[in-house]
Amino acid sequence: MRIGWLLTVCALLVFLLAAQTPKDDAAPPYKNPKLTPDARVADLLRRMTIEEKVSMLAGSGWMESMPIERLGIPAIKMADGPMGIRSWQGSSSVTNAANAMRVTSTSFPAGLAMAATWDPDLVQQQGKAIGQEVKALGRDMILGPTVNIARQPLWGRNFEGYGEDPYLASRLVVGYIKGVQGEGVIATVKHFAANNQEFERHRIDEKIDERTLQEIYFPAFQAAVQEAGVWSVMSAYNKVNGLYCAESPRLLRDVLKKQWGFKGFVISDWGSTYSTAATVNAGMDLEMPGGEPMKLWFAKPSTQSDGNGAGWLTSANVLAAIQAGHITAAQVNDNAGRILRSMFAAGLFDKPHPGGGAVDTPEQKTLARTAASESIVLLKNERDVLPLLPKSIHSVAVIGPNAAVARTGGGGSSLVRSSYSVTPLDGIRERGGNQVQVSYAQGVSIPGEDASKDSPAARAQMREQAVAAAARADAAIMIVGNAPSIESEGFDRKTLALPEGQDELIQAVVKANKNTIVVINAGSPVAMDPWIDQVPAVLMMWYGGQEGGHAIASVLFGDFTPSGKLPMTFPRRIEDTPAFGHYPGENLRTEYAEGIYVGYRHYDRGNIAPLFPFGHGLSYTKFDYSDLKVTPDKVASGRRVQVSLTVRNSGSRTGAEVVQLYVHDLKSTADRPPQELKGFRRVLLDPGQSQSVTFTLDPRAMSFYSTAKHAWVAEPGGFEVFAGASSRDIRLKANFELTK
């Protein structure tokens, strides 16, 4: 009886175990895609040892997080962006070398060019295409977008970001992230916060007041977190108010995680950590790079003399800090849990990216071309010199150091290798076909690119050849600008001026041909004073990616009506710029003394005439604005108002206008800028067509950040709204009142 009972129990146990064990092994709850990321994280953390959790806090290599085989936790495989996908085999000095592992992907226009489209839907399509290419290449995460504000025009990375205005940058970053993450790829908004100069980027301490941070330098990050639900945020190299961003509890823990409710993980910039406990406790979740590649890189004297810090969150260091009581187990749960949460949210456990997919597909190429075309800004067009066709232009001379080479992007970690790229000269030749004869002269070279061309005698000779070509042609198209050797991550530009020899070349050519068009192929504003009054037409083509050459040809010849608008004020002189006198700082400190008066806010307040204002961009057609209405015109605090107007294409070509809406608070206890961008819409209209455009102004659009209340405050009183084609081309005004 007893034995029988025992046997029954044993049989039952064996049955239960047999029934349960395989099921448990096959599908522990964290592997169940039907559960929420939070539930999966909670389950997985319970199964992990403290050593395993800690190991996740540092990378396993140059661009991979730490995998844990026992639990089937994959590494997150990263790649640089934001304008496409870069090789992940080392720092940009390695991957830019001629013998680097070749990874080709679509090279889209750089960030500032994308910002010049003022087209969040297009940026979202770009993000989607980039997400698809990340997957196709077997990676999981893109290190972009860059949203640092263009505080001053010499910043070497201006070309990567979305310009000077926090509202414009916010709308675009949301598009980019939604596009990327919709594909199950982790986006990384960077560099938090206020990475606004390359000069001493590893050591500079920036003094920035709270209101300025909240109103100018934070909004794009806040939108990335709260509106786009970004899964990763990269901290910046620099210090803000005395602390390295990577170990700033104020930035990472209080603002990002508590105030904004960020649920993803913070990743360090490559070599931006300087402590163990302080960094982990501030809210840094993942230190990069890690493992052997980090050690080899950090052992190089130049890595350290540049000011990089690395190797602080290795398992040995973090475990020692836990043992010493400087880091709690709960903290490590939070760090590892955040990384895992983003991995679950992105689907990395459920749908890994094996690679081997198609990149640079016909659709992606078309998108790159559309984006490059939309980004081009017509700065000046006297005598309607442009478009060249259908006028009687039978020959053009294409001149300049950027004509026969495709300068697709600026230098550093964002520069993408594309499988092909179209030079402006090729684009113009292709479009000109049999209709327009095209000649070419380099005119001047970028200093340092070919020493034999840098002497005064060589320059004089090249200039003469260019002048002769211009004199023989019906029009001269000059493609001038910068190059990655002049405009790059890692250093700032020394001057606003075009590289040596270009101003003289432009002056000489325009004397020989009055139909001279200057095309600027650069990533930030350049000085034009030496020649702007003599040259009838100027186009800004930025760094337009692989299709830049096709795009500029289509604008020059009139196939595409330009619609780009400046996302950055173009100053006349460096002395006029907001941070002048407070950049690059002294003794490794710089004070953001201009406060919220960045970009047009500064020019408007000081009544300074820029060379070209924020929002400026001409068209080949004309747009009329009418019927501006604000409803209601009296509204209680906390409510919204609707602003509507009609825009009409009164010219003879199809084209797009970017309608801009600025707001001015008439009565405030705080100092408020004369106007701030709070709405914009790109509308494509056929000749004679009109469209009504409606904007919603929410309380935030009327608010300033109150340092007394540590909150956004909209004060009762009168407000003005301005609608126009640029910040200095206001066509309509209206008022409304905010009541208590």
| Phi and psi angles of residue 690, each rounded to the nearest 5 degrees, phi first | -130, 160
Q: Restricting to residues 124-153, name those near ligand BGC by CB under 6 A.
A: 143
Contact 569, 600 (CB under 8 A): yes
Closest contact distance (angstroms) between CB of 87 and ligand BGC is 10
- The residue (of 141 and 552) whose beta carbon lies closer to ligand BGC is 141
- The residue (of 190 and 365) whose beta carbon lies closer to ligand BGC is 190
| Phi and psi angles of residue 158, each rounded to the nearest 5 degrees, phi first | -55, -35
Closest contact distance (angstroms) between CB of 80 and ligand BGC is 5
Q: Restricting to residues 405-464, name those near ligand BGC by CB under 6 A.
A: 413
- The residue (of 306 and 737) whose beta carbon lies closer to ligand BGC is 306
Closest contact distance (angstroms) between CB of 226 and ligand BGC is 23
Q: Which of 119, 205, 269, 426 is catalytic?
A: 269
Q: Distance (Å, rounded) from C-alpha 404 to C-alpha 398?
A: 9
- The residue (of 135 and 190) whose beta carbon lies closer to ligand BGC is 190
Counting DSSP H helices and E strands in the chain, the numbers are 21, 25
Asked if residue 526 binds ligand BGC (CB under 6 A), the reply is no
- The residue (of 201 and 672) whose beta carbon lies closer to ligand BGC is 201
Asked if residue 80 binds ligand BGC (CB under 6 A), the reply is yes
Give the number of C-alpha atoms closer than 13 A to the C-alpha of residue 192, restricted to the C-beta side. 36
Q: Distance (Å, rounded) from C-alpha 535 to C-alpha 312?
A: 55
Q: What is the DSSP letter of 399?
A: E
Of 206, 215, 247, 269, the one binding ligand BGC (CB under 6 A) is 269
Q: Distance (Å, rounded) from C-alpha 346 to C-alpha 341?
A: 9
Closest contact distance (angstroms) between CB of 310 and ligand BGC is 12
Q: Is the bond into 82 cis (omega within 30 degrees of 0)?
A: yes
Give the number of C-alpha atoms closer than 13 A to the C-alpha of residue 705, restricted to the C-beta side. 15
Q: Restricting to residues 353-392, name those near ligand BGC by CB under 6 A.
A: none
- Please confirm, yes or no, whether 698 is among the known catalytic residues: no
CA nearest to 57, candidates 217, 296, 266, 222:
266
Give the x/- contact pattern for ligand BGC in 165-204, rule: CB under 6 A. Answer: -------------------------x--------------
Task: List CB contacts of 17: < 8 A, sequence separation 6 or more.
Answer: none
CA nearest to 81, candidates 113, 58, 109, 60:
109
Sheet holding 589-591, edge to edge: 243-244, 239-240, 205-207, 589-591
Contact 351, 140 (CB under 8 A): no
Closest contact distance (angstroms) between CB of 211 and ligand BGC is 27
End-to-end CA distance of the chain: 86
Of 176, 192, 218, 270, the one binding ligand BGC (CB under 6 A) is 270
Q: If binding means CB under 6 A, how many residues of this protein chain bind ligand BGC?
A: 6
How is residue 694 written in tokens?
A: 């409606």
Q: Restricting to residues 387-416, name those near ligand BGC by CB under 6 A.
A: 413
CA nearest to 485, candidates 427, 571, 550, 402:
402
- The residue (of 269 and 334) whose beta carbon lies closer to ligand BGC is 269
Closest contact distance (angstroms) between CB of 190 and ligand BGC is 6
Closest contact distance (angstroms) between CB of 138 and ligand BGC is 18
- The residue (of 151 and 190) whose beta carbon lies closer to ligand BGC is 190
Catalytic (active-site) positions: 269
* Interface positions with ligand BGC (CB under 6 A): 80, 143, 190, 269-270, 413
